[in-house]
Structure formats: C-alpha cells, structure tokens
Amino acid sequence: MPDSAVLSSDEARARPVVARIDDVHKRFTIRKDSSIKERIVTLGRAGRRHRQDFWALQGVTLDINAGETIGLIGHNGSGKSTLLKVIGGILEPTKGTMRRRGRLAALLELGAGFHPDLTGRENVFLNAAVLGLSREETEAQFDDIVAFASIGDFIDTQVKFYSSGMYVRLAFAVAVHTDPDVLLVDEVLAVGDEAFQRKCMDRIRDFQKQGRTIILVSHSLDQVTELCERCVLLEKGRVVFDGDPTAAVARFRDLLEERRVAEKVASGSFDRRPEGAITAVSATVQREDGVQVARSGDDIEISLTIAAEGLESAICRIQIDDALGQKVFATGTDWLKMSVPTINGERVLAFQLRRPQLGGGKYFVNATLMDDRGQTLHNVTQATSFNVEPDPRAIGYVRIDVDTSI
C-alpha cells in the first residue's frame, strides 16, 4: 500500500529532508470505450482490451533537502507534473512511499480552488483556507495579497467576470502569501504579462533568500539554469539525470535531438536524390581532451558527406541556429570563393570554424546543396547539433570579455 506520512522530528533533525520519494510508481488506466453504452457492452467480456495501463512514474527515488531550488524537466508526458502532484499529496503513488514535512503551497493549476460565482475577496479567503491559513492569518495578509495581484476595485467582483490575467494574478498572490516551507510551481511562471512575470520571479528569489524549498517544473530551460541549483531530468517516468542544471539541460537537449533525428530518418528526410544529396552531417568539437562540448573559442568542424554522379561546381552552405531557431551564423563555398571539384560517388566537405566566440547553449546545423546555378538540390534542416558550455558571467549568442571599473 502507498505510504504518505510526515517525517518524524528525530529524522528531520538528523537530516533536513522536506520530501523523501522512495521507489515511487504511478499508474493511470486509460479507457478506450468513451461512452456509457460502450462500457456496458464491454462489461464482463473482453473488458481488458478496452483498458490500457499507463505508468507515468516508474521507480522514482529522490531526497529533497530544505532550502533547495530544484528544477524538473523532460518531454511532455515524461512525468514531471505527476511527480509534482505526488510530492504535493494531490496524487497517491500506486507503489512506493512519499514522505514530506512542513507547510506546502502548490502552484499547479492556478485558481483551481476558486469558485466563479464568488467575488475575489471571498475566493481569497476560500483558497487561503484550502492552502492551510486560518481566517485571522488571511485577514492579516489580505491587503498584501490584493496589492500583489493588482486587482484594485475588482476585488469585490465575481471572478467569472475576471480576465485570465486577473484570475492568474489573484491565485498566485494567494499561494505565495501562505508562508510555505515548500513551494511547488508547475509552469505558472509562464503566464501573465511581462511585469507580472517579473514580480513572480522576484518573489521566487525572495523565497530562495529565506531558505525555502522550491520545486519547479518549467519548459523554459534558461529559467531552470538561472533559478535552480539542482535539476532532475525525467524520461518516460524515470529519473535519467539528477545533478547540475547546466549538465541536465545539455542532456535533455541531447534527448530532444536524438528523438528529432530518429523522426527525420523515419520520415526519409535523408533520402538521396538523383541530382545529388547530403547523406550525412556531423559537428566535431576540436578539443585535446576529446570532450564533445565546446568551450567558447574552441574550433568546430562541420562535415558534409555529399553523394552525386557527375555533379559539377556544386555549392554547399551551412547555417547555425540557436535552440529557438534564430540564425546565428551562415556561410557557403560560394561566399568563401571555394571551388568544389566534380563529385562522382561520395565526397566529404569540411568547414573549419576557427575560434567561434559562441555563448552557452545548444546549436543546430542546417546544410544545403545547390548546383552551379544556385538551384537547391537538397536541404537538410537541423541535420546535427553541438553544445557550448555556458559562461557564468553572461548570457547571449556571443562571448565578449568585459572589464569593469567604478
């Protein structure tokens, strides 16, 4: 039977653990018969064929210590939100144990405790009670909640008349004023306008300074590396990495790239065309230690394998994009005044990028093969990728040495 208990005081004093997840599994049953009629028909005969078990979590074991800011990352469906709900006590594990202590505030589905027919004021007291505050505590915090939410005169209006932004602001304001020991955040920092997002981030940083524990789910990998000191990467319900956020993000991007390449191969994007085709693209970091993560300034070789029969005066171009698809750099044999000899069979063409001062992150390489008239013969988008170590002193596309003075 799943066990959800509070850590004993002796254990808590011995080790400041606020959440202990031990071999947690979570199963959901997906029904394929969508209507009541279909369920009645399948009841008692072949019913199992209309049900499918889905394991959202499989053997997750983690200790979460007081004062940590932890990021949970992974593909959609990897189990991030399910794990957060198990930690918050919203879901019970199918197998394994989950123990926790301290007051917990969960920002999982903002406004989930709001009633549309009640006013903002009434919902503040209702939602605060759900999160564990007494009426006296809520009254003491009420003015701060309203000021944080910037609701103003609408506080006594039914929330069903609120805009989505007002709704989110009020829900977040209530949650962060419950004085939580542990704050669970699931993608809510991506909602609201820019000013409100900055306010949310400021409050998160205040919690960090106060030594509170924060567990954050976010698809913004930059946000994870900026806020978190530890990162857990989930893949198909399993923990595949637990440690430094920069390394976790690099591993996650590798998983994304592996999936993308597999889909591209399955779709035949590398299929050869009669006129000529790019059959392979690789990016190799030129480091003496052989590590394939570039430091800013390391040489990088981009190699294209081209297959053709009697292709004369071919033009090859490469383009490097960042993780968001923005063009960072592009060049080509025609721009470099390089003449490509006639290709019969396969030929490898290499571009040596000398000391590129790239900012940290993942970069994708696009490759294009054209004939001598500039007509595209083959184009491969995101053919390969490479990683660059982040610069802890700055962010952006390029690395620039900076001197400071006062």
299 strand-pairing partners: 286
Note whether 114 and 188 are same-domain residues: yes
Note whether 353 and 233 are same-domain residues: no
For residue 126, tell me if it sits in a domain.
Answer: yes
For residue 208, tell me if it sits in a domain.
Answer: yes
- DSSP annotation of 166 reads H
User: Letter for the amino acid at 208?
Assistant: Q
Note whether 163 and 290 are same-domain residues: no
Of 111, 117, 104, 88, nearest in space to 169 by CA = 111
Max CA separation in the chain (angstroms)? 85
Instruction: Give CA–CA dist 113/16, Å, rounded.
Output: 31
pLDDT greater than 50 at residue 27: yes
Cα–Cα distances in angstroms (integers) from residue 343 to residues 167, 220, 312, 349, 357, in the given order: 63, 44, 7, 11, 33
Instruction: Give CA–CA dist 177/139, Å, rounded.
Output: 11
Enter the pTM of the model: 0.64
For residue 266, tell me if it sits in a domain.
Answer: no
For residue 393, tell me if it sits in a domain.
Answer: no
- DSSP annotation of 399 reads -
* Per-residue pLDDT tens over the stretch 230-284: 999 999 999 999 998 888 888 887 787 777 767 766 665 554 445 788 999 999 9
For residue 289, tell me if it sits in a domain.
Answer: yes
Instruction: Give CA–CA dist 83/25, Å, rounded.
Output: 9
- DSSP annotation of 32 reads S
Note whether 211 and 336 are same-domain residues: no
> What CATH number is associated with residue 199?
3.40.50.300
Note whether 248 and 324 are same-domain residues: no
Q: Please state, rounded to an integer, the average pLDDT across all residues of the chain.
A: 83
- DSSP annotation of 271 reads P
363's torsion region: left (phi>0), alpha (psi -120 to 50) or beta? beta
What is the token pair recorded at 225? 């590396």
pLDDT of residue 222: 76
More confident residue, 247 or 72: 72
Q: Mean pLDDT over residues 283-310, rounded?
A: 89
Instruction: Give CA–CA dist 351/15, Å, rounded.
Output: 54
For residue 263, tell me if it sits in a domain.
Answer: no
pLDDT greater than 50 at residue 348: yes
Note whether 198 and 311 are same-domain residues: no
pLDDT of residue 58: 94
SS3 call for 405: coil
Note whether 381 and 278 are same-domain residues: yes
Note whether 304 and 381 are same-domain residues: yes
Note whether 129 and 189 are same-domain residues: yes
Contact 116, 160 (CB under 8 A): yes
Note whether 299 and 197 are same-domain residues: no
Instruction: Give CA–CA dist 105/110, Å, rounded.
Output: 11
Instruction: Give CA–CA dist 373/88, Å, rounded.
Output: 62
pLDDT of residue 128: 85
Instruction: Give CA–CA dist 344/346, Å, rounded.
Output: 6
Residues 6+ apart with CB under 8 A from 402: 393, 394
For residue 305, tell me if it sits in a domain.
Answer: yes
Instruction: Give CA–CA dist 74/219, Å, rounded.
Output: 8
Instruction: Give CA–CA dist 337/356, Å, rounded.
Output: 20
Q: Mean pLDDT over residues 300-307, rounded?
A: 94
Of 58, 56, 69, 73, nearest in space to 21 by CA = 58
> What CATH number is associated with residue 367?
2.70.50.60
Instruction: Give CA–CA dist 93/4, Å, rounded.
Output: 9
Please state which of the ranges 43-47, 150-154, 240-244 shows the lowest mean pLDDT.
43-47
Query: Band of the pLDDT at 61, cuts 50, 70, 90?
Result: very high
Contact 171, 130 (CB under 8 A): no
For residue 86, tell me if it sits in a domain.
Answer: yes
Q: Which domain holds residue 42?
A: 3-252
pLDDT greater than 60 at residue 46: no
pLDDT greater than 80 at residue 228: yes
Note whether 202 and 310 are same-domain residues: no
pLDDT of residue 367: 94
Q: Which residue has the tokens 């993608």?
A: 187
Note whether 202 and 134 are same-domain residues: yes
Q: How many domains does the chain have?
A: 2
pLDDT greater than 50 at residue 2: no
Q: What backbone torsions phi and psi does residue 280 show, to the nearest 5 degrees?
A: -160, 145
Residues 6+ apart with CB under 8 A from 205: 227
pLDDT of residue 304: 95
Please state which of the ranges 138-142, 211-215, 287-291 shows the lowest mean pLDDT.
287-291
What is the token pair recorded at 296? 């800013």
pLDDT greater than 90 at residue 399: no
- DSSP annotation of 43 reads T
